[in-house]
Each structure stands twice: as C-alpha cells, then as structure tokens.
C-alpha cells in the first residue's frame, strides 16, 4: 500500500470516529438541554398544558445524566487511545498536524466537561428550588389551615361568651312599711336570722342556725353555723327548700332583707329568683367578709 493511500485510509477512520463521538456528545447535550427547558414555563403555553416535574423526578434525571456523562467520558478516552494508535502510523509530515488536532480536541473536551459541570450544577439548583417550592407550598397550606382553625375557635369563643351574657334590669328601690325578715347568705347557705311568732312578731335569735359568739351592752355577736341552714344551688331539692322557707312569709305584710357575704354572691340569684316568683319584695345588703351587721328593728327599709 502506498503512503498516500494509507494516509487517506487513516484520515477516513479518524473522521468516522470524530463524527461518531461528536454526534453522540451533541445528542446528549441536546437531550439534557431539552429536559431543563421543559421545566420553564413558556408564555404561549396555557396553565393546563404546563408540565410539572417533581424534585424526585429531577433527581432521577440527574442520576441518569451523570451515568450518560460518564459513558461519554469513557468513549472519549477510548477514542483518544485509538487516535494515538492511528497517529503512530501516520507519515512524519502529518504528525505535527495530528498533534495540533489532538490539542484542539483536548481543549474541546475540556470545554465540554466544563459545560457538563455547569449543567450539573444548574440541575442541582433546580432540584433545590423545586424542593424549596414544595416546602413553601406545604407551609402555606399549614398557614391557611391554622388561620381557618383560629377563625373557628374565635367564633366558638364568641358564641360561648354570648351564651354567658345575661341581660338584667336594674331594680327600682322604694320605701316600704312592711315587716323586714332578716335572711343571711354565707357558706353558700341560706339562714333565717330570727324566729317569728303570730303576726310575724320576733321571738328572738334563731339559735338553731346561729351561735352566739359574745354578749355585751351593745347586744349579741352571732355567727351562722356552717352545717345548718339550707344549701343554695340549682338542684331541684335546693330550690324546693328555698321556696319552703320563703313561703312562710306573706308578701302583703313582709319583705326580705337579704345579707350576702362574698362567699355566697354566686348563689344569691337562686334566692332572688325564688323571691320574685313568690311576689316577695327584697332588699339586698352585700357586705364584706368581716364587716359587722347590726339589727336596728326590722322595719321602714327600702326594697326592690
């Protein structure tokens, strides 16, 4: 074989190998570029036609891309080895040109490797962005759910507050000449202060419910017994017992003077409601825990 014919054969083989490698590299680059461009939204594409790629799918594509890039690198190395073997048989006058060509090819491969590295970095950034977007969407959904729950709780709280609101009318206080019946509310119980005879005449201290603490020139100092009296509550038994006590007094000639200590403020409404149902007028006397109350005779007070 002549030297010229051998040179043409070697050039043909080199061109074939270059074409194969460049074609494979170009196809791989175009495929990666198409995958990345699919993630971007075109202004002419309607929202219904958008392609959504999840971070997991992007991660899978990245792994495949790395595998293909590795295969391309291996093929380039094989091509370089083959090219070195072929160049060893080339004529002396062509070796300088082939060496220059190898340098250009190596420079091209270095640029291609740099481009591949940039594409890989971009892929990782896209994956990170998609993951961050998914996390933001989850946080947004949690925020919306928290706002809805807060609104429901506010409405529920407002309903409970409205349910506890009670409308009352301020009583009208006026003078009366009726006989006052002294009642004491303490320890959550109702006590009748005195004993009464015919015509509601006082017979003295109700010693069944009260105990004498001391006695001096000013009178007796007494205190209700914690275990006596009538327990006041919303139970039917308590309401019945309260009415039995109040029914002993005629509404036409008697009115109630109800002394209420702080520990029985909450129970006062049950006694008040029972008095109103029976038509009895009453005078509320709210006093402190240790404030003294003096008995001045039991008539001529102001009632409501």
Asked whether residue 147 falls in the same domain as residue 207, the answer is no
Asked whether residue 7 falls in the same domain as residue 101, the answer is yes
Give the DSSP H or E segment for 224.
strand 219-224
Q: Flag whether pLDDT at 53 surpasses 70.
A: no
Q: β-pairing, 174-175 with 302-303?
A: antiparallel
Give the DSSP H or E segment for 34.
helix 3-37
Is 168 a domain residue? no
Q: Flag whether pLDDT at 280 surpasses 80.
A: yes
Q: Flag whether pLDDT at 60 surpasses 60.
A: yes
State the chain's maximal CA–CA distance in angstroms.
Answer: 156
Chain mean pLDDT for the chain: 76
Is 239 a domain residue? yes
Q: Tell if the pTM clears 0.85, that is, is over it.
A: no
Residue after which a domain boundary falls, among 110, 132, 162: 162
Asked whether residue 53 falls in the same domain as residue 122, the answer is yes
pLDDT at 24: 72
The string of pLDDT tens digits covering residues 75-132 is 777 766 666 666 665 565 666 666 777 777 778 777 877 777 777 777 777 778 878 8
Tokens of 198: 């015919």
Number of CB atoms found within 10 A of residue 181's CB: 23
- The pair phi, psi for residue 204, each rounded to 5°, is 120, -175
Structural domain span for residue 101: 3-162
Measure the CA–CA gap between 266 and 214, rounded to whole angstroms: 30
CATH number of the domain bearing residue 292: 3.30.420
Asked whether residue 47 falls in the same domain as residue 10, the answer is yes
pLDDT at 170: 46
Q: How many CA atoms lie within 13 A of 118 on its CB side?
A: 8
Asked whether residue 206 falls in the same domain as residue 88, the answer is no
Asked if 26 and 13 touch (Cβ cutoff 8 Å), the reply is no
Asked whether residue 142 falls in the same domain as residue 200, the answer is no
Is 50 a domain residue? yes
Q: Flag whether pLDDT at 152 surpasses 80.
A: yes
Is 108 a domain residue? yes
Asked whether residue 154 falls in the same domain as residue 229, the answer is no
Is 167 a domain residue? no
Q: What is the mean pLDDT of residues 251-259?
A: 86
The count of domains in the chain is 2
Residue after which a domain boundary falls, among 108, 135, 162: 162
Asked whether residue 26 falls in the same domain as residue 155, the answer is yes
Residue 27 CA to its chain's centroid (Å): 53
Q: Which residue has the tokens 């008697």?
A: 254
Q: Flag whether pLDDT at 5 surpasses 70.
A: no
Asked whether residue 138 falls in the same domain as residue 259, the answer is no
Q: How would you write 88-124 as a 3-class SS string?
A: HCCCHHHHHHHHHHHHHHHHHHHHHHHHHHHHHHHHH
Measure the CA–CA gap between 12 and 62, rounded to whole angstroms: 36
Is 131 a domain residue? yes
Asked whether residue 217 falls in the same domain as residue 130, the answer is no
Task: Categorize the per-residue pLDDT at 48 as very low, low, confident or very high, splitting at 50, 70 and 90.
Answer: very low
Task: Categorize the per-residue pLDDT at 204 as very low, low, confident or very high, splitting at 50, 70 and 90.
Answer: confident
Asked whether residue 200 falls in the same domain as residue 134, the answer is no
Measure the CA–CA gap between 63 and 78, rounded to whole angstroms: 23
Would you call 279 helix, strand, or coil by DSSP? coil
Instruction: Return all residues near 203 (Cβ < 8 A) that are at least 6 apart.
Output: 194, 195, 196, 197
Residue after which a domain boundary falls, among 162, 196, 223: 162
pLDDT at 237: 92
- The pair phi, psi for residue 9, each rounded to 5°, is -65, -45
Is 169 a domain residue? no
């Amino acid at each position: 074989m002549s030297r010229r014919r051998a040179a043409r054969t070697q050039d043909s083989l080199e061109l074939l190998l270059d074409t194969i490698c460049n074609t494979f590299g170009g196809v791989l680059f175009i495929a990666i570029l198409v995958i990345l461009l699919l993630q971007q939204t075109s202004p002419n594409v309607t929202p219904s036609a958008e392609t959504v790629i999840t971070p997991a799918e992007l991660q899978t594509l990245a792994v495949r891309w790395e595998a293909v890039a590795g295969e391309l690198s291996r093929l380039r190395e094989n091509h370089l080895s083959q090219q070195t073997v072929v160049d060893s048989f080339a004529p002396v006058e062509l070796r300088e040109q082939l060496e220059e060509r190898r340098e250009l090819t190596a420079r091209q491969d270095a640029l291609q490797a740099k481009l591949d590295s940039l594409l890989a970095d971009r892929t990782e950034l896209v994956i990170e962005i998609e993951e961050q977007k998914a996390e933001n969407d989850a946080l947004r959904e949690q925020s919306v759910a928290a706002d809805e729950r807060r609104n429901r709780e506010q409405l529920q709280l407002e309903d409970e507050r409205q349910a506890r609101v009670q409308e009352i009318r301020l009583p009208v206080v006026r003078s009366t000449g009726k006989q006052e019946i002294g009642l004491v509310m303490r320890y959550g119980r109702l006590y009748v202060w005195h004993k009464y005879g015919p015509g509601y005449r006082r017979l003295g201290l109700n010693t069944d419910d009260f105990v004498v603490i001391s006695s001096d020139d000013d009178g007796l100092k007494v205190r209700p017994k914690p275990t006596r009296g009538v327990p006041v509550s919303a139970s039917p038994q308590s309401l019945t017992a309260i009415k039995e006590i109040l029914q002993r007094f005629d509404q036409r000639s008697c009115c109630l003077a109800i002394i209420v200590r702080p520990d029985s403020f909450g129970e006062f409404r049950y006694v008040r409601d029972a008095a109103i149902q029976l038509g009895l007028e009453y005078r509320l006397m709210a006093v402190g825990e240790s404030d003294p109350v003096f008995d001045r005779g039991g008539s001529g007070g102001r009632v409501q």
